[in-house]
Amino acid sequence: RLAPEKETHRVFPALRELKKSIRPHLVIVGHGPSEGELKELAKGLDVTFLGRQPNSALPPLYRGADVFITCSRSETYGLTVLEALACGTPVVMPHCIVFDELWNDKLPKDWMFDAKEPDTLVRALKAASDPSAKKWITANPIRASWAVATDKLLKQYDDMIKMNEPVKRRHEVLVNFLALLFRMMLLLMALFI
């Protein structure tokens, strides 16, 4: 999906920098509200917009790529990362809570970048596009299943709910106190009217 929260615009300055030493070609799959803006940013670069593609077309696209890039820091899981890795394609992604938690100890650290520092995206792209990166993926396959992913996600939700229990209790005490105070005010008003 090409939308502002995906932060795809971050890739274009990196491509301009890479263009000084290599001939990068970027393929963008998807459509959405940011498509026009991204096409403007892509002017002067070798970029192909494929639009929306059926799920059956994605594996060959992943396998044909030297590197898969995601710039989004607002993912809940990042399914596209897992899809690309399953197809044997190195993935460049930003440091963010979800990606750091899911992938920091499973992928080379130099494949991740700091979204606030554009130079780190260039370095990550160079590292992940090195021929040794595909060999690394082959030698270190990612083991994932929906059952494990679901268990992790449910545990995270459970942890968040538990973290908020003291706040919830304080809120309930406050609501009960205010309700009691309101009843007392009504009683006092009834006595004096």
Q: pLDDT tens digits for 57-111?
A: 999 999 999 999 999 998 877 889 999 999 999 999 999 988 998 898 899 999 9
Same-domain pairing of 48 and 104: yes
Same-domain pairing of 43 and 105: yes
User: How far is it, in rounded angstroms, from Cα 10 to Cα 95?
Assistant: 13
Is the entire prediction scored with pTM above 0.85? no
Per-residue tokens: 17: 């920098």
Contacts of 58 (CB under 8 A, 6+ apart): 29, 83
CB atoms within 10 A of CB 152: 13
| 73 vs 153, more confident | 73
Residue 17's closest CA among 131, 92, 96, 124?
124
Q: pLDDT tens digits for 9-44?
A: 999 999 999 999 999 999 999 999 999 999 999 999
The mean pLDDT value for 130-139 works out to 93
Q: Which domain holds residue 153?
A: 145-193
Same-domain pairing of 138 and 151: no
pLDDT tops 80 at residue 170 = no
Domains of the chain: total: 2
Same-domain pairing of 19 and 66: yes
185, exposed or middle or buried, with CB in 10 Å at 0-12, 13-18, 19+? Answer: exposed
* Average pLDDT of the chain to the nearest whole number: 88
CB atoms within 10 A of CB 11: 25
